[in-house]
């Protein structure tokens, strides 16, 4: 039986033991990134690694892998740990010895580190399975980067059943936190995110004869300006709300009014009821303005991920255990973040905690944000990540 006073030291030793493995695994995955629902070689690699330590698994969600690690002591508790495994369509900068070997594809969001960390945690806890009871679900989830995402698909296929976990915990890299640090936030943490596609149809023609045309560019300008009132005048100021447009395409010329204009943007917020109301208002406002100016519009809303809400009790416990394991000075409080994550789907059905693993190091010039061609991590952060997740898991199981 692991003595409570010895857990800290024991996990620290195991994390040191498997640190080189974590780095080697992360670099292998970084060299061989795969896009959402195309992670076939990644899944095969994960399966082989689980085979090495005799952890049974099954495939789910096309390219996902879910392992079950059981302790040998008597307990019916089950907890789940999640890592995402997909990469992004980004061309990595040249010059890295472990750089991507797949042109135009890169682990620019740290999913290689997440997967390497969870495999390392599997090694650590497998070594200790004679010392604890209960089951640990190891969820290697595909397609976090592409809506509707892999989490919803895995849940639909029963990833949270047989056995049913009491909680789901995930960690994610954060370059704005230095390696060795972690961050937590209870309650609402990450925003919902929906993609907006509006096509405004008019009647094109010569720019010198606007009275004979229906100008979709002029209509688009009115629509974009008016929709900003969704944020400035209709949203409760206490609910962060973002409406941003990233693309407008008219394909006319200096003297040609086009037939149509295409606009694409994103809507994000932290309240599901307001999310539904705002999306409805966006449709009504865009339609009414367009029709009032004698055009017509088509609106497509691609529903993204919901609000990610960290369970208050679980998150506070995990934060306390992080302070025990790392020292209070290494554990930071996080602000709301208007990015989105499909981990949110787990948080809708189970007490969940999604915390941040610091990976930055200004002294090494490792400061680039995620989703950039220059993104990298200080690999010393893996020592923190594998140790803390192992410690938190044992504590969740009652040790």
Active site residues: 86, 144
The two tokens of residue 125 are 């806890």
| E strand or H helix at 20 | helix 7-31
Helices 216-227, 272-292: inter-axial angle, 10-degree rounding: 150
- Our CA dihedral for 384, 123, 341, 361, rounded to 10 degrees, sits at 30
Judged by DSSP in three states, 25 sits in: helix
Angle between helices 7-31 and 381-396 (to 10 degrees): 130
Q: Of the candidates 80, 4, 19, 7, which has an alpha carbon nearest to the alpha carbon of residue 384? A: 19
- CA within 13 Å, CB half, 285: 18
* C-alpha 230 chain-centroid distance: 26
Instruction: Produce one character per residue of 359-394: b if its CB has 16 or more CB atoms within 10 Å, e if not.
Output: bbbeeeebebebebeebbbbbbbbbbbbbbbbbbbb
Q: Distance (Å, rounded) from C-alpha 116 to C-alpha 48? A: 13
Rounded (10°) angle between helices 381-396 and 312-326:
130
């Amino acid at each position: 039986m692991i003595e409570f006073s010895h857990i800290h030291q024991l996990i620290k030793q195991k994390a040191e033991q498997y640190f080189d493995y974590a780095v080697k695994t992360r670099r292998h995955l970084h060299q061989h990134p795969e896009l959402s629902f195309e992670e076939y070689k990644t899944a095969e690699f994960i399966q082989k690694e689980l085979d090495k330590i005799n952890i049974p698994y099954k495939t789910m969600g096309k390219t996902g892998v879910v392992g079950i690690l059981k302790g040998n002591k008597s307990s019916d508790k089950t907890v789940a740990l999640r890592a995402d495994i997909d990469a992004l369509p980004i061309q990595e900068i040249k010059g890295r010895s472990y750089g991507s070997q797949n042109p135009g594809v890169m682990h620019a969001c740290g999913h290689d580190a997440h997967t390497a960390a969870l495999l390392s945690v599997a090694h650590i806890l497998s070594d200790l399975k004679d010392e604890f009871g209960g089951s640990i679900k190891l969820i290697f989830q595909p397609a976090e980067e592409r809506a509707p995402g892999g989490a919803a698909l895995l849940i639909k296929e029963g990833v949270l059943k047989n056995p049913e976990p009491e909680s789901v915990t995930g960690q994610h890299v954060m370059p704005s936190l230095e390696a060795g640090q972690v961050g937590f936030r209870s309650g609402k943490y990450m925003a919902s995110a929906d993609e907006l596609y509006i096509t405004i149809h008019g009647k094109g023609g010569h720019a010198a004869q606007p009275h004979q045309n229906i100008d979709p560019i002029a209509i688009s300008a009115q629509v974009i300006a008016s929709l900003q009132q969704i944020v400035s005048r209709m949203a409760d100021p206490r609910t962060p709300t973002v409406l941003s447009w990233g693309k407008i395409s008219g394909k006319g010329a200096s003297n040609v009014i086009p037939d149509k204009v295409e606009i694409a943007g994103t809507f994000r917020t932290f309240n599901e009821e307001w999310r539904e109301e705002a999306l409805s208002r966006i449709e009504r406002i865009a339609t009414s303005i367009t029709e009032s100016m004698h055009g017509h519009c088509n609106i497509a809303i691609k529903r993204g991920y919901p609000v990610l809400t960290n369970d208050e009790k679980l998150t506070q416990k995990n934060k306390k255990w992080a302070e025990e394991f790392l020292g209070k000075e290494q554990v930071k409080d996080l602000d709301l973040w208007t990015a989105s994550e499909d981990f949110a789907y787990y948080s809708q059905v189970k007490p969940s905690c999604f915390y941040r693993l610091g990976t930055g190091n200004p002294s090494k010039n490792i400061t680039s944000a995620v989703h950039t061609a220059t993104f990298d991590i200080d690999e010393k952060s893996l020592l923190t990540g594998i140790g803390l997740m192992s410690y938190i898991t044992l504590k969740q199981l009652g040790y």
